[in-house]
Structure 1
Amino acid sequence: MRAMKLILAPMEGLADFWVRQTLTDHGDYDWCVSEFVRVSGELLPPRVFYRWCPELRRGARTRSGTPVHLQLLGSDPVCVADNAVRAVSLGAPAIDLNFGCPAKTVNRHRGGAVLLDEPALVYQVTRAVRDAVPATIPVSVKMRLGNEDDGLATENAQAVEAAGAAWLTVHGRTKRQGYRPPAYWDRIGLLRQAVSLPVIANGEIWRPEDAWRCRQESGCQDLMLGRGAVADPLLVDRLRGRQAGDWASVLPVLVTFIDDVDGSGTDAQVAGRIKQWLSYLRRRWPEAAMLLEQVKRLTVPGQIRAVLEQARQAA
């Protein structure tokens, strides 16, 4: 049996270039997926692709060499296909299509999870991209179980397969269910049985025991990790069966992130990003809650880094 593949999920506003770089520095991912590039009626200039996927400038790989697949979101088959061609011309090694975003601003403009109400359109967008890019470039799809409910889940999965997608990633909740636990891994399993293309399971994987249950209930061999990977940067090592370490092993990850992200925005913006990550870490590490309390009023990244360095020396 081949090794389990572990993929870092696209997460708008969370897993940006800096987070992808840090997590893949410290975790052995098979690939990661960019935040979505939104396509709406025009062929986007290269600068837009570079904004959401700066890794395109260095061979579409993170600093550690992890491949980065580029994700597109849109509902016009021709326009999405044209932008896929441009992304490939800029170096994207694979194109992922977003039919799962639950954001209201996206859904109002006929993007993301609302397209799951129209399996025929899901097919058309996927087929248009598959026909437009070279056969050597994989085209994949990420979807939820549905929009308001999961009544069309099988039709959508079969539409993706018929359109020629190389694999399908399924987040085990509908748009209406948002991110509220649980994720319905057994429903992913029903979709896996309805298609012959590889299916990757996603949703509510925070700890190794979640991963093993997800694999058992879904029957999927491969997993996509999202918020759980941010809450525990060592999760990938745990799933690989390696000695993952403790809180003292997490602090260097945060320090690396601060060093990388400092200067990418205003001090307040960068400080907010650091606190955002600490907030996620609280789910797995009680020590993160204490650190967040110490730095919550600081707005200069260097000051936050000094507090983390103190904690690192004391750990």
Structure 2
Amino acid sequence: PDTMVSVSCAVFAARAVPRAPSASRSPTRLAAARDGDASASSSSSSAVPSPPPRRDYASLFARGAEGGCPPLFLAPMEGLGDRRLRRALARSTGGFDEACREFTRVPGALSQGAKPEKLLRGIALNGYAADELLLLGEDFSAEERNLLAAQLMGSNPDLIEQCAKFLATEGNAPRVDLNCGCPANVVTGKGAGSSLLRDPEAVYDCVAAVSRGVAGTGCAVSLKLRSGYDDRGLLKENLLAAQAGGAQFVTLHPRTRREGYTGNARWEDIAFAVDLLDVPVVGNGDVTSPAKAFELVERTNCAGVMIGRGAVQDPLIFRRIKAAFAERRRDLSGEESEKSENFAKAETERDGAFLFGDHDENEPAAITRFLRAFAAEAFAGEALPGTRVRASKRLSASDLEKFKLGKLKQVCKYLFAANPGLTPYLAEVLTADADAGADAEATLARIERLVEAHWRPPEDVLVDAFSMRAGYERGMRDGGKAVQSTFVTAKSRTEEE
């Protein structure tokens, strides 16, 4: 088995740096497929000049390499980081350089008699709008008004290729990302998401399919993955497979599928990926403050930072990080850096004041602005979220109220649990019940008053609502005690070592 792993890694490495075919190379299906892809790509590229990229990711990553703030990505999060959250953050606090739509599921097979082109076009483009954030106009600065990236999740390379093509040609996507990180059983049970990590050949095949689908459009290809499925045994092979398949950068969440969102992310896996690959690596996992962002970049040398849960816990986090990096750049003036924590403390200990461009705004007011923007997105419309439905399928007034309350609770699970001044009130918010007369607008007003009175700079806390959903449901009747088990304080890795 060890010999087979070594051979496979060597084959992926050989593909990562193009070279003439050799008779000594492994005659596996993977090697043959890769040689065929390389030949097709070579012949097509010589006949048709490549169009300019829709997004200049090289310049974006160069910003961090030149001493500025590395690019900050808002993570795609199914059920949490959807259109409502993206637009609310953009309208209120902003700060991220790019957002990516939550994954689009590509079926494993088409039913007999289906019209492939029509069906796959509908799947790929349903709910995706590359200009989703551009339409916000003046609410988003010119620097931050960028196209929305797309993400596909599936295991059938042929269907993935066709969906990627629709996104690149008709959807005008600047980037198509392949999801190899989702740990949900409903996803992995169908061979998609993080289950691909059990087979590096499958990772290669699916990334190469995206590359073929977007070829000649100026659309970039990327991959988001975890460190492994049950363990980290195939991390090296999976990383090399992604690069060999044509990923122009990869994002690594250094937990396995089995680990879910528990414990601390193993940033050493990100450092390993940076050393291994020739393409940029974006680090993801446990970034909840400027101090953590500094620490991640310094410990791993990653080219960018992706933030998911941390952006819901603290909607100001992207602004904080950019301000802290700018301050560090001014303070350094060519001198050796101080410890990361000092910069973050200086930035966050400003009596709750926070700088937004040309005007000052205290933090409670900024958070309230985010909440109102989120509510405006979540409360709009009467259809089921994310779907186009007939009038007969619209939500009843009662169900709509439950939906609105549910969206508020979803955000507050993170926002309150990470804030020491608000944590004692989390149970109150989560027990608001539409059947008992609770009203979404009144609940929002109560949340705003709590934020105004009790908001403090957030702690480094990892909120694991994904793994502890049952705890919320059970714990609300005991005064919220079980809620405390849904998050853990993120200790400094320096202290741990």
With structure 2 as the length reference, what TM-score do the two structures score? 0.59
Q: Do 1:279 and 1:289's aligned partners in 2 also have CA atoms closer than 8 Å?
A: no
For residue 203 of structure 2, what is the aligned residue in structure 1? 122
1:185 aligns with 2:281: no
For residue 297 of structure 1, what is the aligned residue in structure 2? 432
Q: Do 2:182 and 2:193's aligned partners in 1 also have CA atoms closer than 8 Å?
A: yes
Q: Aligned with 1:14: secondary structure? A: coil
Mapping 1:72-221, distance limit 5 Å = 72-88=152-168, 89-135=170-216, 136-221=218-303
Q: Do 2:121 and 2:163's aligned partners in 1 also have CA atoms closer than 8 Å?
A: no
For residue 20 of structure 1, what is the aligned residue in structure 2? 86
Q: Aligned with 2:365: secondary structure? A: helix
Q: How many residues align?
A: 313
For residue 246 of structure 1, what is the aligned residue in structure 2? 363
Q: Do 1:157 and 1:195's aligned partners in 2 also have CA atoms closer than 8 Å?
A: yes
Question: What stretches of structure 2 of length at least 5 have no aligned partner?
Answer: 1-65, 111-115, 325-353, 356-361, 385-399, 455-497
Q: Do 1:35 and 1:52's aligned partners in 2 also have CA atoms closer than 8 Å?
A: no
Distance in 1 (CA, whole Å) between partners of 2:424 and 2:238 is 45
Q: Do 2:226 and 2:257's aligned partners in 1 also have CA atoms closer than 8 Å?
A: yes
Higher mean displacement: 131-140 or 44-53: 44-53
For residue 336 of structure 2, what is the aligned residue in structure 1? none
Higher mean displacement: 13-22 or 205-214: 205-214
Deviation, structure 1 residue 287: 3.9
Per-residue Cα deviation, 1:71-120 (whole angstroms, up to 9, x for no partner): 00011111100011112212222100001110111001000111111111
Distance in 2 (CA, whole Å) between partners of 1:16 and 1:213 is 28
Q: Greater Rg, structure 1 or structure 2?
A: 2
Q: Do 1:144 and 1:170's aligned partners in 2 also have CA atoms closer than 8 Å?
A: yes
Q: Percent identity?
A: 31
User: Match for 2:310: what amino acid?
Assistant: G
Q: Do 1:20 and 1:62's aligned partners in 2 also have CA atoms closer than 8 Å?
A: no
1:30 aligns with 2:97: yes
User: Match for 1:116: what amino acid?
Assistant: L
Distance in 1 (CA, whole Å) between partners of 2:227 and 2:278 is 17
**In 2 relative to 1, CA 291–257 (structure 1 residues): closer, same or farther, beyond 3 Å?**
farther
Q: Aligned with 2:103: secondary structure? A: strand
Distance in 2 (CA, whole Å) between partners of 1:202 and 1:35 is 16
For residue 237 of structure 1, what is the aligned residue in structure 2? 319
For residue 149 of structure 2, what is the aligned residue in structure 1? 69
Q: Do 1:204 and 1:228's aligned partners in 2 also have CA atoms closer than 8 Å?
A: yes
Distance in 1 (CA, whole Å) between partners of 2:126 and 2:208 is 26
Q: Do 1:15 and 1:35's aligned partners in 2 also have CA atoms closer than 8 Å?
A: yes
Q: Do 1:21 and 1:62's aligned partners in 2 also have CA atoms closer than 8 Å?
A: no
Distance in 2 (CA, whole Å) between partners of 1:275 and 1:51 is 27
Distance in 1 (CA, whole Å) between partners of 2:265 and 2:451 is 35
Higher mean displacement: 284-293 or 229-238: 284-293
Deviation, structure 1 residue 262: 0.4
**In 2 relative to 1, CA 238–260 (structure 1 residues): closer, same or farther, beyond 3 Å?**
same
**In 2 relative to 1, CA 62–289 (structure 1 residues): closer, same or farther, beyond 3 Å?**
farther
For residue 52 of structure 2, what is the aligned residue in structure 1? none
Distance in 2 (CA, whole Å) between partners of 1:246 and 1:37 is 35
User: Match for 1:27: what amino acid?
Assistant: G
Distance in 2 (CA, whole Å) between partners of 1:29 and 1:72 is 21
Deviation, structure 1 residue 151: 1.0
Per-residue Cα deviation, 1:108-165 (whole angstroms, up to 9, x for no partner): 1000111111111111111121122134110100000111111111111111111111
1:276 aligns with 2:410: yes
Distance in 1 (CA, whole Å) between partners of 2:253 and 2:203 is 16
**In 2 relative to 1, CA 46–306 (structure 1 residues): closer, same or farther, beyond 3 Å?**
farther
**In 2 relative to 1, CA 247–309 (structure 1 residues): closer, same or farther, beyond 3 Å?**
closer
Distance in 2 (CA, whole Å) between partners of 1:125 and 1:210 is 33
Q: Do 1:7 and 1:225's aligned partners in 2 also have CA atoms closer than 8 Å?
A: yes
Higher mean displacement: 237-246 or 250-259: 237-246
Distance in 2 (CA, whole Å) between partners of 1:99 and 1:237 is 29
Higher mean displacement: 60-69 or 209-218: 60-69
**In 2 relative to 1, CA 28–190 (structure 1 residues): closer, same or farther, beyond 3 Å?**
same
1:4 aligns with 2:70: yes
Question: What stretches of structure 1 of length at least 5 have no aligned partner?
Answer: none
